[in-house]
Amino acid sequence: MPYPQPSTSTSTPSPLVVGVDLTAAGARPGVHRARGIVQPRSFDAERFVSLVRRADDGGLDLVTLDEGFLLHPGRRQVTGRLDAAVAAARVAPHTRRAGLVAAVDTAHVDPAHVAQAVARVDQASSGRAGWQVGLPAGAVVQDDAWAEQARGAAAQVVRHWDGLASGATGDTAGAVTVDDEGRFRVDHDGIRFAVRRHRPAEEQVADGRRGGGTRQGRPPVVVSVRGEAAIDLAARTADVVRVAATAPARAVRLRARLRDAAEAAGRDPETLRVLTEAYVVLAEDRASAQARLELVEALEGPEISGGLLVVAGTPDDLAETIVDWRAAGASDGFLLRPSSLGPDLDALVDGVLPRLVRDGVRAVASPAPRTLRATLGLPDAGPAVGIAAGAGTVVAPAPATARPRARAGRTADSRLVRA
C-alpha cells in the first residue's frame, strides 16, 4: 500500500544536531561519581532533573534515555527498571527547549500504551517528545524477528498519533482496546495474563481525548542501528537514526545505505536524520582526558564505551571532530555519551557548543520553545503524512555533511579519537 509523500521537502542543509544520552543517570553503579571513587547509590530523581535542565539550558537539541535506563543494577541494592517515558514526563515541565526521547519497547507494551505515554510527554513538554523503538528488556541482539515485530508495532503507534491529531475517537484516538469486561490482554515472555480496567466505554473515549493530541502532530520516531536487521526498520520507520561508527568512511557508507533504503521505500531521504554516537571524555588538556579515560577503563573495563567512537580530549577537539564528520557527509550530528555526567556534560555545554557557534556551523539556541520536529529540521507530519498502515511502514527523516578521524591512538595533532 503506497503512502503519501511529505508535503514539504528539505531544500536547505539540515541543522547540525547535537544531543546527549543520559541513560547512565540510572544505568551503572559508577554513574553518580563526579571524580574519584564514590559508593554507588540508587536512582536520584532530583539529580536526574538537574542534569536534564543543564542540558536544556546549555542549548542541546535532545536528551535520550536508552533501553538501559535502570533503577540500579548493583548487588543487594534496589533493583528494577525505570520507565523512560515516566522519567521524561517527570522532567518535561522543567525544560523549555531540548527534545526528550524515551525508549519504550513494543514487544511487551501495547502500541496504544506507547502512543499514549509519548503523547502525554509531548503535551507536558509543548511538543518536544520523541519515541525510540526499544529492544525488550534483557535483549541484546537486534534480530529479524524483533525488526519485523517492531515495524508492525511502529505502524500502530503512528496510527494512534494520527488519530489523536485528527481528533478521531476510539482505537485510532489512542484509547487502549479492551473487551466487554474492560480488560486488555498482554503477552509477556510467553505468559498470558489480563489486566482489568473496569471503566465504561465512554470514559475510555474521554480519556483518549484528554491524553491525546500531540503538539507536533506526530513525535519523531528514533531507531538505534546496532545490526543489519535494524537498517531496513530504520529506513522505513525512523525520523532519526542512531548509528555506531568508529571511522568516518564507515559512517558515510552506513548513512548512504540508510538514505538509499529510505528512497527505495518511497520516502524522501532528505527527511532522515542520522546521528553518530560517541563516548566522550573531556578535560582542559588532552593528557588529562587520556588519563581519565584510562582510569575509567581500568575500573570498569575497556568495553565501557560500548563499541562507540571514543573522543578523549579538549572541548575544542570534540567540536573539530563533529565539524569534520559533518563536512565529510558522515552524519547530521552527534549523540554524545558523557563518561562522567557532571564534568563532561559541563564541558559539553560550556565549551563544545560555544565553539560550534563561533565556527558558524551551528546557530545560537533559540530561546523560543519549538517542537522537536522543528528543532531537527523535519517537515511537519500530520495525519496524512507518514505511515502505510497495511504495509507496516512509516514515512520520516534527513541528512547533512562531514569529515573526521577515528582509529585508536593519537592523531597527528595529538587529539585522541579512538576506534
Give the tens place of pLDDT for each residue, 28-64: 444 434 444 444 455 678 889 999 999 999 999 999 9
- Find all residues with CB under 8 Å of 148, minimum gap 6, and list them: none
Q: How is residue 408 written as a grid cell?
A: 585508536
Domain-located, residue 61: yes
Domain membership of residue 328 (yes or no) is yes
Identify the helix (H) or strand (E) that includes residue 100.
strand 99-105
Residues 159-176 have pLDDT tens digits of: 999 886 555 544 444 455
Indicate which CATH number applies to the domain containing 42.
3.20.20.30
Domain-embedded: residue 8: no
User: Does a structural domain hold residue 309?
Assistant: yes
State residue 322's pLDDT score.
97
Q: 347-391, pLDDT tens digit by residue?
A: 999 999 999 999 999 988 777 778 999 999 998 875 433 333 333
Residue 381 DSSP symbol: -
Residues spanned by the domain of 108? 17-174+212-418
Q: What is the pTM of this model?
A: 0.79
Calculate what percentage of the chain has a pLDDT beyond 90.
Answer: 54
| Higher per-residue pLDDT: 140 or 410 | 140
Query: Does 317 fall in a domain?
Result: yes
Residue 87 has pLDDT above 70, yes or no: yes
Over the stretch 96-136, which tens digit does the pLDDT of each residue have?
999 999 999 888 888 999 999 999 999 999 999 999 998 88
Q: How many domains does the chain have?
A: 1
Confidence check: pLDDT of 154 > 50: yes
Predicted confidence at residue 238, as pLDDT, reads 96
User: Quick check: is 12 in a domain?
Assistant: no
Q: Which of 138, 111, 150, 145 is nearest to 234 (CA)?
A: 150
Q: What is the distance between the alpha carbons of residues 327 and 313, in angstroms, rounded to a whole number?
A: 20
In a domain, 206, yes or no: no
Number of helices followed by number of strands (H, E) in the chain:
12, 12
- Predicted confidence (pLDDT) at residue 402 exceeds the cutoff of 70: no
pLDDT higher than threshold 60 for residue 303:
yes
Contacts (Cβ under 8 Å, ≥6 apart) of 3: 266, 386, 387, 388, 391, 393, 395
Task: Tell whether 354 is covered by a domain.
Answer: yes
Burial class (CB in 10 A: 0-12, 13-18, 19+), 73: middle
Q: Distance between alpha carbon 161 and the CA centroid of its chain, in Å?
A: 18
Report residue 323 as a C-alpha cell.
Answer: 565539524
CB atoms closer than 10 angstroms to residue 31: 22
